[in-house]
Structure 1
Amino acid sequence: MAVPIRTVVAGLCAGLVAALLTTAPARAEQDDQVWALSTGTHAPRARITLDSGTLSLAVSRDGRTVIEPSPVGIVTEQADLSKDLRFLHRKDRTVDERYRTKSGKRLDRRVHMKETRLSFATAAGARLDLVVRASADGVAYRYVLPGAHGDVLGETSAFNLPADAAAWLGTYRVDNEGQFVQYTAATAPTGEYSDQALFETSGGYTLLAESDLTGAYSGARLAHTQGTGTYRIKLADDRIRTDGPLTTPWRAMVTGDLATVTRSTFTDDLAPAPKVTDTSWIKPGTVLWTWLAGGKEAGQSLAAQKAYVDYAAERDWPYEAVDAGWYYKPGEWETVDPDWQTNSWMPELVRYARAKGVGIVVWIHQRELDTPEERAQWLPTLERWGVKGVKIDFMNSEAQPMLQWYDTILAETAAHHLLVDFHGSTIPKGIQRTWPHVMTLEGVAGEEKRTNTAAHLTTLPFTRNVIGSMDFTPGAFHRVGLRPNSDAAEVGLTVAYESGLQMFAGTPESYDQRPLARAYFDQVPAAWDDTRLLAGRPGQEAVLARRAGDRWFLGGVYAGAARTAEVPLSIGPGRWLVETVEDGADGLVRERKVLRGGDTLRVEVVAGGGFAGIACPWRPGITTCHRS
C-alpha cells in the first residue's frame, strides 16, 4: 500500500528532531571539555583539556608544538584539585592596558591579552578556577581557589617538552646564581633547575617563568628526571600557609621567535599595577661600585669613598655604591658597630657626594632589616642622611616567610624613598612593575664569579635578563684571568645586559687605562626607550640594540673562536653613523662607519670577544655620536 508523502515527511522530521535532541547535549558536553585561547593567527595558542576529570594545557604556535599537553592542578590539605573535576562555567574578557616603567627594556608598555576563566568543582564541592591568559608573546595560567581549602601541599603543574627540544638550563640555587648550560630537554641531568628555563621546539623558543610572586605563596623551581621531557613545578615550601581564598602566581611561557622572547615584557605585563603613586624620586642611572674595585678596606674608609665619589663626579656618573663594611666596627669584619648611627661617617660622605651631584647607595645585610624594630631603626636613618638607595643582600630563599619579608621591605623602602637593589635574591618575576623603585636584582652568576664561561655570558640575554633588570656588574677590566671575555666584550655587556642601576665593577685606574671604555661608560644610559635583538643564538652570540632618544647603543658578546661578526643593522631607515669599540692588537680601538638601516655591520671579534657601539642619525658634518 502506498504511503502518503505527507506521512513520510512527517516521519523524517520527527526522526531528525529526535536525533538533534539526542546528539546536541552530547556535542555540547564534548565541546565543553576543550577550550582554546589565542590573540591572533601567528600568536601562541593555548589549548586546555578536561579528560576524565583531569586538566591539561598545551601550547602551539602556527600549528607547531611549543608545550605538549601538560598536567595542571593543585593539592591542598582539604582537597585534591588535580583530579575528578567537573566543568561549571567559563568567563572571558580582554585585558588592554598601558603603563610606564622607570627601567627595563622600554619605558612605555602596551598590554593586549585574552583571558578565560574556567571554573571547576570536585564531587565534594571544592572549587578551582583556572585563569589562562594569552598574548602575542606568551601564555600564562594561575589557580584561584575561591573558598578556603586549607594549606597548599603542592602543585601537579608541569611542562612537557619534546624530548629533543634544545634546552638552556641553570642549576637551581637559593641565590639563583646557577650557570646556564645547553642540553636537550630529555638529556639534562636529574635535578632541580631555575624556573627561568629556555627551550627551542618546532614552534619556536619558549622561556618558562613566573609572575606576581608574593608572600601569599612560595617560589617555584623545576624538577626534572633525566630521560624525559617533563619539568615539574616544585615549590620552596612543603606546606604553604593560607587561611582563606587564594590566588597563586602566574606560570608563564614567553613564546615566539628569539627576537620576540628577548624583547618581551610578558612577566611584567602579568604583574599588578604599581603600588607607588609618586615615582618622581625614582631615577635609574650608572653607578661606580667599589666592592670589586676596593674590597673590604674601601668599605671601611671615608677617604677611599670620597675618592670614588670624586671620580664618579668627574665622569658625571650619577651614583656611587658603598658596599659591605661601612657600619662594622673599625678594623673588624662583619661585626656591627652597636653605635653605628652616631659613629658612622656615612652622613659626611652623603653630604660630600651631594655637593658634587653624586647619590650614595649603601649595602646592607638582610639580617639587619629582619624585624620591624630593626627596619624602624635603619630605614628612617638612611632617609634622613640622604642616602638614595639600598643594596640588600643574602636573602637566599624563596620560601613563604622570606617572600612575606619581601612584601614588607618593598612597602617600607618605598615609603622612605629608597631605591632598591636586591642581591642574594629572588629574580624579578614582575616585581619591577608593581614596585618601580626596585632598580635591579642580582639572581645571576655575575661578574664576581670566577667560573663563568663565554657561553654562559651569551645565554643570559635570552634567559635571566628577559624577565627583568639584572645586576651582573660589568666593567671589571682589572679582573684579567678571572673573566672569560675580552675588554671589548666587557664594554658591550653594559648594553647587552639591562639594569636600572648599571653597576660598573672596575677600578678607576682600569678605566683610565682604557679611555675608549671610559668614554663609552660616560655615554651609556640606564633607561631605554626600546630594545631589539640584532643577532643571537644562546650560548654562541648575543647582539642587542637599545635606544635612548635618537641614539641606539649596541652591545655584542660572543663565545668561541675569533671571527668577523656580521650584524644586521635593523634599527630603522636612513643613514647612521656607527661608532664601535673593538679589541685591537694593542688594546681597545674605535671604528667609524656610515651605514644605512638594514645594512650589515661587520666587526672583527677576538676569541671570547665582543664589541660596543653607538649609532646616531648621520648627516654631513656629523663626526661622532658622543655627546657632552
Structure 2
Amino acid sequence: MEVPLTRTMAAALCTGLAATLLATATGPARSEPRQPDTWTVAEAAHAPRARIALDDTTGSLSLTVSRAGRTVIAPSPVGIVTQQADFSQGLRFLHRKDRTVEERYRAKSGKRLDRRVRMNETRLSFATVAGARLDLVVRAAADGIAYRYVLPAGYGDVLGESSAFNLPADADAWLSTYRVDNEGQFNQYTAATAPTGEYSDQALFATDGGYTLLAESDLTGSYSGARLAHTQGTGSYRVKLADSQVHTDGPLATPWRAMITGDLATVTGSTFTDDLAPASKVADTSWIRPGTVLWTWLAGGRTAGQSLDAQKAYVDYAAAHHWPYEAVDSGWYFKKDEWDVTDPDWQTDSWMPELVDYARAKGVGIIVWIHQRDLDTPEERAQWLPTLERWGVKGVKIDFMNSEAQSMFQWYDTILAETAAHHLMVDFHGATLPKGIQRTWPQVMSMEAVGGEEKRTNTATHLTTLPFTRNVIGSMDFTPGGFQRVGLRPDSDAAEVGLTVAYESGLQMFAGTPESYDARPLARDFMDQEPAAWDDTRLLAGSPGQEAVLARRSGDRWFLGGVYAGAARTATVPLTIGPGRWLVETIRDGADGLVQDRQVLRGGDELSVDVVANGGFAAIACRWHPGVTTCYR
C-alpha cells in the first residue's frame, strides 16, 4: 500500500539525506564527550570523601563530604567573588590535576611531637564565560577534608565568599557566639535551632555516625579572618569575612576551609589544621622549649607585677618546684606618659634585667606580658624586641589584638618573623585562633582565644566542651590551676588538677598562688611532675558538654586528666594506654580535700574514680613490675 508523503516526513527525509551526505564527505560522525560534572577526592576507601559538583544549569560549585557511605556535610555552596570576577556561578570545567602530599615534621608543642602527613590533593580548574580563571584545591586525609581557592593576579580585591556548610537540621551543635577575642562560651543547640547570629568558625557538629569540627588553616595577612553566619531554622552556616573588601595585589591562595571529621577520638586527636599549614619558617628551633609556668596575674595581679621583690619570691617558688618559667604580667613596665622611650637610656630604669639575671641563676626563664599597642609600629618593635632579647627574656605574652581584620593579620606576619629573629617564644592573648600557626612559626607556644580561668561566668559544661572544640586546633592558654578562685570557678579542686592535663598548652601557665598550692600538696606535687610537650595524646572517654578524659604520654609515663559536668558519679574510664600492667596514681576529691589512690591495672581495664558534682580527677600511670611503688620522680 502506498503511504502518502507528508510535509513532516519530507522534512525528516531531507534532514536524514543531508546527514548522510555530510557523513560521506567527512567520515564517521563523532559525538563530543560530555565533560565530567562531579569529582571525588579521598585518602582511602574508609576515609572521609569529598564530592565536588558543577551544576550544568547555573555553573555553580558545591561540595559534599561523606564518610563510610554517610553524609557528613550536605551539598554546600563553594565560590568566591572579586571586584573583577564572580566565581560563584557561570563556571565551566577546564582540567583536573592530582597529587599526593606526604610529609613528616616535628612540632615543638601540641598533641604529639612527631607528625606524619598523608593527603590526596585534587586541583580543579574552572573559567567564567569572560575567561577568568579559578582553581579549587581540595585535600583529603584520614581525619578531614579541606579546600581553598587559588586565583591569578588581576581580579581585584575579594568582596566575599559564597562558601557555606550545610548540616542536617537536627544535628547537635556546640557553638560559641563570635567575639573578636574568641573568648565566648560554647553552648549546645541543634544546627537549625541555634539563634540567628555569628559564631566562631571552630564549630562542632554531631554528624551521621560521628562528629565534624569546622576550622580554618594557613591564614596570613594576604586575607581576612572568618566567622560563621547563621539564620535560625536552617542548618546552613555561611563563611563571613571580617573585612568587606580584602585587598589583593597579586596571585591569591585563600586559607583552607577545613572539616575535621571522624569519631570523637579521631577529631580530638587530630592535627589536621597544623598538617595543612606551611612548613616551619624557623630553621633553628633549639631555643624553643615548652614548659610549665608560674603565672602571677591571678596570683597577685598588677601589684605583684610592679614589685621586683614579689617577682623574686615567685621565681624562688618556681625554682623550688622545677617549673621552668615564671611569667610577669601587666604592670611591670613603664606607662607611656612616664618614660621617654626616645631616650637611649630608658631601659636602665627597669628592674626587669635584674629579675632576669636573678631567675637565670636559679634555672628559671622569664616570660613578660606586653600590650600589642606597644609593638604595633616598626619603631616600637625595634626598641622592645632587641632589648628583651638582650636582657635574656625567654618569651613574650602579647595581648589585646582583638581583631581578625586583614590589617591585623599583616601585623601577625611581621611580629612572627621578628620574634623568631630575636629568639622570643610567644603566647598570644586577646587573639585569633591558632589556624596552623604553630607549625609554620613554632615559637608560638600557646594562644588564648578561649574563655579561660580568668572568667567568672564559666560553666562545667563549657569546660567539658573545650577539649573537643577550641583545643583541637592548637595549644590553648586557659591558665588552669587557679585553686584560690573558690566560688569563681565552676569545678572542684581535683577537676582543676585534671585540667592541667586535659588542656594542652606549650606554655602551661598555672594560675594559682603559692599559698593555694601549698594548701593542696597533692595537686602541687602532681604539677611538679608535668611536662608541657607530649609524645602522644588519646581520648579515653568523652561526650561534649558532659565529660572529657584525655591521656597524654611523655616518655614512658601517661598523664590523665578528667573533667565532668553534672551530678556526682563513679566514673569508669577504659585504660587504653597499652598492654601490660600499669601502676595508676589518681588524685580525686575526698570529704576533707584531695586524696590519692594507687592501684595496678592492666591495659584495657576500667579505671573507676569517684567524682563529685562538676568534678574530675588527675592521674599518672607508669609501667608496673615488682618493686615499683610510685610513678613520681
TM-score, normalization: structure 2? Answer: 0.94
- The superposition leaves residues 465-484 of structure 1 with CA deviations (integer Å, 9 ceiling, x where unpaired) of 00000000000000000000
C-alpha contact (below 8 Å) 1:327/1:337 kept by paired residues: no
The question of 1:111 aligning with 2:113 is answered no
Query: Which residue of the partner structure matches residue 152 of structure 2?
Result: 146
Residue from 314, 317, 340 that aligns with 1:338: 340
C-alpha contact (below 8 Å) 2:585/2:621 kept by paired residues: yes
1:338 maps to amino acid: D
SS of 2:524 mapped into structure 1: helix
- The superposition leaves residues 500-547 of structure 1 with CA deviations (integer Å, 9 ceiling, x where unpaired) of 000000000000000000000100110000000000000000000000
Query: Which residue of the partner structure matches residue 472 of structure 1?
Result: 478
Residue from 366, 375, 384 that aligns with 2:381: 375
1:291 maps to amino acid: W
- 1:41 CA displacement: 2.0
SS of 2:314 mapped into structure 1: helix
- After superposition, where does 1:108-507 map in structure 2 within 5 Å? 108-329=114-335, 337-338=339-340, 340-507=346-513
- The superposition leaves residues 425-480 of structure 1 with CA deviations (integer Å, 9 ceiling, x where unpaired) of 00100000000000000000000000000000000000000000000000000000
The question of 1:508 aligning with 2:514 is answered yes
- The superposition leaves residues 359-399 of structure 1 with CA deviations (integer Å, 9 ceiling, x where unpaired) of 00000000000000000000000000000000000000010
Q: Residues of 2 paired with 1:25 and 1:133: CA distance?
A: 31
- The superposition leaves residues 307-344 of structure 1 with CA deviations (integer Å, 9 ceiling, x where unpaired) of 00000000010000000001135xxxx85633551210
Could you say what the CA RMSD is over the residues aligned between the two structures, in angstroms? 1.4
The question of 1:41 aligning with 2:54 is answered no
- 1:268 CA displacement: 0.1
Q: Residues of 2 paired with 1:131 and 1:76: CA distance?
A: 18
C-alpha contact (below 8 Å) 2:277/2:439 kept by paired residues: yes
Using the TM superposition, name which of 99-108 and 320-329 deviates more.
320-329
Q: Residues of 2 paired with 1:367 and 1:336: CA distance?
A: 16
Q: Residues of 1 paired with 2:337 and 2:265: CA distance?
A: 48
SS of 2:390 mapped into structure 1: helix
Q: Which has the larger radius of gyration?
A: 2
Q: Residues of 1 paired with 2:29 and 2:561: CA distance?
A: 65
C-alpha contact (below 8 Å) 2:153/2:249 kept by paired residues: no
SS of 1:208 mapped into structure 2: strand
Residue from 563, 567, 582 that aligns with 2:569: 563
C-alpha contact (below 8 Å) 2:136/2:149 kept by paired residues: yes
Kindly, what percent of the aligned residue pairs are identical?
81
- After superposition, where does 1:556-595 map in structure 2 within 5 Å? 556-595=562-601
2:339 maps to amino acid: D
Query: Which residue of the partner structure matches residue 5 of structure 2?
Result: none
TM-score, normalization: structure 1? Answer: 0.95
Q: Residues of 2 paired with 1:128 and 1:196: CA distance?
A: 27
The aligned length equals 603
Query: Which residue of the partner structure matches residue 85 of structure 1?
Result: 91
- The superposition leaves residues 243-288 of structure 1 with CA deviations (integer Å, 9 ceiling, x where unpaired) of 1211000000001000000000000000000000000000000000
- The superposition leaves residues 33-56 of structure 1 with CA deviations (integer Å, 9 ceiling, x where unpaired) of 100011112210000000030000
Structure 1 residue runs of 5 or longer lacking an equivalent are 1-13
- The superposition leaves residues 161-190 of structure 1 with CA deviations (integer Å, 9 ceiling, x where unpaired) of 000001000010000001000000000000
- 1:148 CA displacement: 1.8
Q: Residues of 2 paired with 1:23 and 1:546: CA distance?
A: 63
C-alpha contact (below 8 Å) 1:60/1:203 kept by paired residues: no
SS of 1:80 mapped into structure 2: coil
SS of 2:383 mapped into structure 1: helix
- 1:22 CA displacement: 7.7
- 1:25 CA displacement: 3.6
- 1:150 CA displacement: 0.1
Q: Residues of 1 paired with 2:494 and 2:337: CA distance?
A: 40
